[in-house]
Amino acid sequence: MSTSPVAISAPGKVLLAGGYLVLDRGYTGLVFGLDARIHVHVQILPTSPGLTLSEIIVKSPQFRDAEWRYGYRETEDGGGVEVTQLKGHTTSSQSRNKFVETALAYALSYTTATTPTKITPALITILADSDYYSHGPTTSSFSSSSSTPQPHRFVDFGVPLTSAHKTGLGSSAALVTAFTTAILTHYLPPGTLSLSSPTGKARLHNLAQAAHCAAQGKIGSGFDVAAAVYGSCVYRRFSPSILSSLGEISTPGFAHRLCDTVNDTAQKWDTQIDKSAATMPRGIRLVMCDVDCGSETVGLVKKVLAWRAAEPDTATLLWTTLQKGNEDLATELQKLTLNPEGKGDQDPYESLKSTVLTIRSLIRDMSARADVPIEPKVQTDLLDACARVPGVIGGVVPGAGGFDAIALLVEEEGAGDEKEGNNEGVVRRLQQFLDGYKADAHEGDGGPSIGKVRLLGVKQEMAGVKSEEVGMYGDWIPPA
């Protein structure tokens, strides 16, 4: 066990292409990591002399009443480590945090099954970069690097976690990934699971997938966890049957089954993760605009899958065409990566713009057929309006769609700007446009009308989960 504090972060995500399709192994998704990260800091829980505890405390100090206390015990017959929330303490939340609780139980179960390990009390602090929630700052600094902490990076959101509005950047997957990695790094002997090792990273991916899948009711493709572990990539999901035989924690043999499943990276896991196929050309940046509404992804997915089952021929034709469009998008980005100047073309982004519009048209077709607001009319209006801002190439409602943040591709140097070597000219125009943007109300969108649109301070990032300097968090971390 590490006696020194441990700090780990994992990125958010945006599924630029492949929403819904990525649920099926016959299709892929183009997912980009984001430099907005979830951070998890672990330290030994200080106790009074002579006092023995079997307690792990988890805090999320940016939110009100966000503290969870857990007791833990190794169950009989190799059932793993059972985690029980301890209630009644004056500072503890009475509500469950299923992602924290499940990730903790799975990580501890894997740890004890991997090597003889004594689980000792720990204090865990979770911090989220400000753009994960709509309660963050109203302006963004668009820092060029996430490696150096900025004054605005962690903010007090001022509300309970249950009242915070997510922007759709994949907070749960980033949390489970960073949390799992931090627990393993804290409790396992040094070098047991290396983030720089392909095998170590694959095992971490498998464990995070298992924990995240269990926490959200075995729904989802896992692309968000893949992005949290590996960063930007083209992703083909794993077969759901891989996790179907795990069973529940505390059932006989659970820890062995979990360890065996996680460690079988070569034979059992058929996930395909291609980092080389996900590129963002020099001269283009991905930005996000928060509409402060959000959608219930699970409900949207269920309706789309029900339509697909009811009209399989129509759905297969549409999905096959959409897959081709998604592959074309990745190809266009790769072409521009190799040839950013477009060989003298008048508009080097003409083909990229056309591909984005084709994908959006197909998405709207699926939206209409499934009667699901994947690209609601208010989002269509917003995307079309943003695309008219000089320097904006185009954008989509990413992932499952609905009323989450939209994704835009913008030029690093807008038309008519001085050669500044960055995209501040485009960002400035886009921000000024959004400051005055008023959404029209539309009936039948299946959700709320969007209000003020905020340009988030995020961009694409190729890196996945990584270690952080433990001293970067300042007063957010209580003294050991």
| pLDDT tens, position by position, 169-207 | 899 999 999 999 999 999 999 888 889 899 999 999 999
Whether 418 shows a pLDDT value over 80: the answer reads: no
Q: What is the pLDDT of residue 1?
A: 66
- What per-residue confidence (pLDDT) applies to 148? 38
Checking if the pLDDT of 298 tops 70, the result is no
Position 114 pLDDT exceeds 80: yes
| 388-395: average pLDDT | 96
Q: Which token pair is 143? A: 């820092």
Kindly report the CATH number that applies to the domain delimited by 284-461: 3.30.70.890
| Range 343-348 average pLDDT | 68
Average pLDDT over residues 11-29: 96
Give the model's confidence band at 413: pLDDT under 50 very low, under 70 low, under 90 confident, else very high: low
pLDDT band at residue 417 under the 50/70/90 scheme? very low
Find residue 82's DSSP bridge partners.
Answer: 73
Q: If you compute the radius of gyration of the chain from its CA atoms, what whole number of angstroms results?
A: 22
Cβ neighbourhood burial of 17 (10 Å; 0-12, 13-18, 19+) = buried
- More confident call, 218 vs 160: 160
User: What was the pLDDT predicted at 419?
Assistant: 43
**Cβ–Cβ < 8 Å for 220, 80:** no
Q: Supply the pLDDT for residue 361.
A: 97
Q: Is the per-residue pLDDT at 443 higher than 80?
A: no
Does residue 475 surpass a pLDDT of 60?
yes
The pLDDT tens digits of the residues spanning 130-145 come to 889 875 443 333 333 3
Confidence of residue 314 (pLDDT cuts 50, 70, 90): very high
pLDDT at 344 over 90: no
pLDDT of res. 217: 84
Looking at per-residue pLDDT, the higher value among 298 and 316 belongs to 316
Using the CB atoms, write b or e for 56-91: b if 16+ within 10 Å: bbbbbbbbbebbbbbebebbeebbbbbbebeeeeee
pLDDT, tens digit, for every residue of 67-109? 999 999 999 999 999 999 998 776 677 788 999 999 999 999 9
How far is residue 104's CA from residue 108's CA, in Å, rounded to a whole number?
Answer: 6
Report the predicted TM-score, pTM, of the whole model to 2 decimal places: 0.90
> For the chain, what percent of residues have pLDDT higher than 90?
65
- Residue 341: the pLDDT is 63
Within this chain, domains 6-275+468-476 and 284-461 share the same CATH topology? no
Topology given in CATH for the domain delimited by 6-275+468-476: Ribosomal Protein S5; domain 2 (3.30.230)
Mean pLDDT of 295-303: 74
**Which residue is listed with tokens 């062995």?**
256
> Nearest Cα to 60, choosing from 46, 45, 44, 40?
40
Amino acid at 234: V
Structural domain boundaries in the chain: 6-275+468-476, 284-461
SS (H, E, C) the chain: CCCCCEEEEEEEEEEEECCCHHHCCCCCEEEEEEEEEEEEEEEECCCCCCCCCCEEEEECCCCECCEEEEEEEECHHHCCEEEEEECCCCCCCCCCCHHHHHHHHHHHHHHHHHCCCCCCCEEEEEEECHHHECCCCCCCCCCCCCCCCCCCCCCCCCCEHHHCCECCCCHHHHHHHHHHHHHHHHHCCCCCCCCCCHHHHHHHHHHHHHHHHHHCCCCCCCHHHHHHHHCCEEEECCCCHHHHCCCCCCCCCHHHHHHHHHHCCCCCCCCEEECCCCCCCCCEEEEEEECCCCCCHHHHHHHHHHHHHHCHHHHHHHHHHHHHHHHHHHHHHHHHHHCCCHHHCCCCCHHHHHHHHHHHHHHHHHHHHHCCCCCCHHHHHHHHHHHCCCCEEEEECCCCCCCCCEEEEEECCCCCCCCCCCCHHHHHHHHHHHHCCCCCCCCCCCCCCCCCCEECCCCEECCCCEECCHHHHHHHCCCC
Any residues with CB less than 8 A from the CB of 156 and at least 6 apart, and which? 61, 62
Task: Assess whether pLDDT exceeds 70 at residue 421.
Answer: no
Residue 22 pLDDT greater than 60, yes or no: yes
Mean pLDDT of the chain: 87
Give 221-240 pLDDT, tens digit per residue: 999 999 999 999 999 999 99
Q: What confidence tier does 146 reach under pLDDT thresholds 50, 70, 90?
A: very low
* Cα–Cα dist 279/336, whole Å: 9
Structure tokens at 387: 């695309």
CA atoms within 13 A on the CB side of 373: 21
- pLDDT band of 405, cuts 50, 70, 90: confident
- The backbone region for 311, taken as left when phi is positive above 0, alpha when psi lies in -120 to 50, beta otherwise, is beta
pLDDT at 25: 95
